[in-house]
Amino acid sequence: MSQSTPARVFLKGNEAVCYGAIEAGCRYYFGYPITPQSEIPALMSSELPKHGGQFLQAESEVASINMLLGASACGARAMTSSSSPGISLKQEGISYLAGSELPGLIVNISRSGPGLGGIDASQADYFQAVKGGGHGDYRMIVLAPHSVQEMYDLTMHAFDLSDRYRMPAMLLGDSLVGQMKEAIELRPRPEVELPAKDWIVTGKGERSEQRIVKSLFLGDGELEAHNRHLQAKAEALRANEVMAEEVALDDAELVLVAFGAAARIAKTAVRMARETGLKVGMLRPITLFPFPERHLARLAETARRFLCIELNTGQMVEDVRLAVNGRREVHFYGRPPGTGSLPTPEELYEQIRESY
Amino acid sequence: MTYDVFMAGFGGQGVLMMGDLLARAAIFEGKNVSYYPSYGVEKRGGAATCTVVISDQEVGSPVIGQPGAAIILNQLSCDKYLEKVRPGGFCLLNSSLIELPANPRDDINLLSAPLTEIARETGGDRLLNMVSLGAYVTATGAVDAASLEKALEQALPKRNHRFIPMNIEAIKRGAALVEK
């Protein structure tokens, strides 16, 4: 790419994920179609071959996550994508990726549930993404874009974090950020230094040592040590990789906390509140894990009250309450999905007035 | 300055294409834009809606409760969305398919015209969205008609560029509804 400012391109969020992945050096995609993310496999199937990559529509979600595991074990940047019910099917593989310390990107353009639910914008998969939908004591990097530009940028960032910490990463979106179109800059991949992949299993060849990628640890004390090692990586993420956007927080008495689509809608509500003289700001977690708990603890010293807004019946609010730790009231406004049930900025503004 | 417009009809009327073109035209004018489509699972006949926000500032919500303008192409959408238009806003109704309510709103600039018939006279039913778009941009000044022409060139595959003059004619027919 040229050094000058890249031209703006009008893209769907789902398409931006593909261009971000390819710019980040991802050359392997494994998936199975499901609404509202099917633009991702569709575009990857036409784009990856142009870059010497491989697109594979697997026979199932379970197969595709395990293909990702295999590609990652061989050192490749690889990804899969799906939507909520499909992501549920991938949980076993995600747990194995975490246990085997393998990087890889899982994109969840989530829809509503439980069960088959519907295809509307929903944030009902927060718990599954952040608390670990698979078995075992693991953490996963979770990034939540709220614009098409971020769908592109955070896809690249997710690959870098995933490689650095040898941990699977999830990009958690929904049909609003996936289907929405905006003009974005296809920025060049940021230059970052990453540790060498000196663990990949590509055949022993002339090497003296044997490399093994596994998640089974049966030796005395071995599994405890492994779990402590995984937790140390999670701690390092908490210390170093938290990202959050601060909107009009300087003198904010009421602080909104929202991520992804809900935050995007709430931005306009914050603007409306400011125009009517209400001191309202917003903290938008960009990394859902690691969660911006220190940001919230700091805000709990100055703000009067918090209002958490989600497209579900209350998930992230539990983490907000933990971070605020009883020092301030935390109100909640949730909207479970349903056709046409996205909250409007006007409705969120009313909630702000009620909580203020 | 911010313009937001909500467009609604049934699948096949070109609602999504209309929003996409408007967004592209605004991008040509250096604006920030969001285009958010929402539609049923059907290819044709289901509800199709989209919202376009055009602004000099960062675009906040791509979803608007009370849009400043609306383009409504069928009865079902009229029954559901006419009441949502912001007071003082603009609303274009397709009277070919919509029977106006007994007390249509008097707090908005309401333009009701037989858009489907005009499209048919211009070259075919499928020009409905272009006639509508011409009327909308002329009434609100959201984008220049010339930018729509550039947007058509960008959005349509080369093999369909031969249809562009017909589309521009339809945009002009729509514009004339407002100008007269």
Query: Is the minimum CB–CB distance between A116 and chain B shorter than 8 Å?
Result: no
**Is the Cβ pair A268, B65 closer than 8 Å?**
no
pLDDT of residue B165: 96
| Residue B10's CATH number | 3.40.920.10
Q: Tokens in use for B54?
A: 């055009």
Q: Which residues of A touch B61 (CB under 8 A)?
A: 264-269, 344-345
CA distances from A228 to A73, A140, A152, B153, B162 (A): 22, 15, 33, 58, 66
Confidence of residue A102 (pLDDT cuts 50, 70, 90): very high
Closest alpha carbon within chain B to A344: B65
Confidence of residue B180 (pLDDT cuts 50, 70, 90): low
Number of separate domains in chain B = 1
Q: Which residues of A touch B20 (CB under 8 A)?
A: 181
pLDDT of residue A6: 62
| Residue A340 scores a pLDDT above 70 | no
CA distances from A265 to A254, A256, A349 (A): 17, 12, 10
Residues 6 or more apart whose CB falls under 8 angstroms from that of A292 comprise: A242, A243, A244, A283, A285, A323
Q: Which residues of A touch B62 (CB under 8 A)?
A: 176, 180, 264-265
pLDDT of residue A249: 98
Q: Which residues of B touch A182 (CB under 8 A)?
A: 32-35, 59
Residues B76, B9: Cα–Cα separation, whole Å: 8
Query: Is the minimum CB–CB distance between A274 and chain B shorter than 8 Å?
Result: no
Closest alpha carbon within chain B to A271: B60
Of A193, A31, A201, A30, the closest CA to residue A100 belongs to A201
Q: What mean pLDDT value characterizes chain A?
A: 96
Confidence of residue A5 (pLDDT cuts 50, 70, 90): low
Confidence of residue A1 (pLDDT cuts 50, 70, 90): very low
Domain span at residue B135 reads 2-179
pLDDT of residue B43: 65
CA distances from A321 to A205, A267, A314, B23, B85 (A): 53, 21, 11, 40, 38
Exposure letters A266-284 (e unless 16+ CB within 10 A, then b): bbbbbbbbeeeebbbbbbb
ipTM entry: 0.93
Q: Which residues of A touch B34 (CB under 8 A)?
A: 180-182
Q: What mean pLDDT value characterizes chain B?
A: 95
Nearest to A268 among B24, B33, B60 (CB): B60
CA distances from B101 to A273, B5, B63, B80 (A): 34, 21, 26, 12
| Residue A2 scores a pLDDT above 50 | no
Q: Tokens in use for B31?
A: 């604006």
Average pLDDT estimate for A139-145: 98
Q: Which residues of B touch A176 (CB under 8 A)?
A: 36, 62-63
A287-327 pLDDT, tens digit per residue, is 999 999 999 999 999 999 999 999 999 999 999 999 999 99
- Give the count of beta carbons closer than 10 Å to the beta carbon of residue B129: 27
Query: Is the minimum CB–CB distance between B160 and chain A shorter than 8 Å?
Result: no
Average pLDDT estimate for B16-37: 97
Nearest to B27 among A8, A176, A347 (CB): A8
Query: Is the minimum CB–CB distance between B36 and chain A shorter than 8 Å?
Result: yes
pLDDT of residue A339: 65
Query: Is the minimum CB–CB distance between A329 and chain B shorter than 8 Å?
Result: no
Nearest to B61 among A179, A264, A340 (CB): A264
CATH 3.40.50.920 domain position(s) in chain A: 245-355
**Is the Cβ pair B27, A342 closer than 8 Å?**
no
pLDDT of residue A119: 85
CATH 3.40.50.970 domain position(s) in chain A: 8-185
| Structure-token match 């809606």, residue found | B49
Tell me whether strands A141-143 and A168-174 are parallel, antiparallel or unpaired.
parallel
| Residue A40 scores a pLDDT above 60 | yes
How many angstroms away from the CA of A351 is the closest CA of chain B?
A: 14
pLDDT of residue B46: 84
**Is the Cβ pair A264, B62 closer than 8 Å?**
yes
Confidence of residue A337 (pLDDT cuts 50, 70, 90): confident
| Structure-token match 């046409």, residue found | A340
Q: What is the CATH number of domain A8-185?
A: 3.40.50.970
A169-195 pLDDT, tens digit per residue, is 999 999 999 999 999 999 999 999 999
Cis amide bond preceding A36, omega within 30: yes
| Residue A345 scores a pLDDT above 60 | yes
Nearest to B63 among A35, A271, A344 (CB): A344
- The answer to whether the pTM exceeds 0.90 is yes
Nearest to B66 among A10, A342, A346 (CB): A346
CB contacts < 8 A (A, B):
63
Closest alpha carbon within chain A to B34: A182
Nearest to A180 among B35, B41, B58 (CB): B35
Chain B, 46 to 105: residues with Cβ < 8 Å from chain A are: 58-66
pLDDT of residue A297: 98
**Is the Cβ pair B62, A176 closer than 8 Å?**
yes
- Contact call for residues A166 and A230 (beta carbons, < 8 A): no
Average pLDDT estimate for A24-46: 97
For domain A245-355, the question of CATH label 2.30.30.140 is answered with no
pLDDT of residue B35: 98
- Contact call for residues A135 and A62 (beta carbons, < 8 A): no
**Is the Cβ pair A345, B34 closer than 8 Å?**
no
Confidence of residue A286 (pLDDT cuts 50, 70, 90): very high
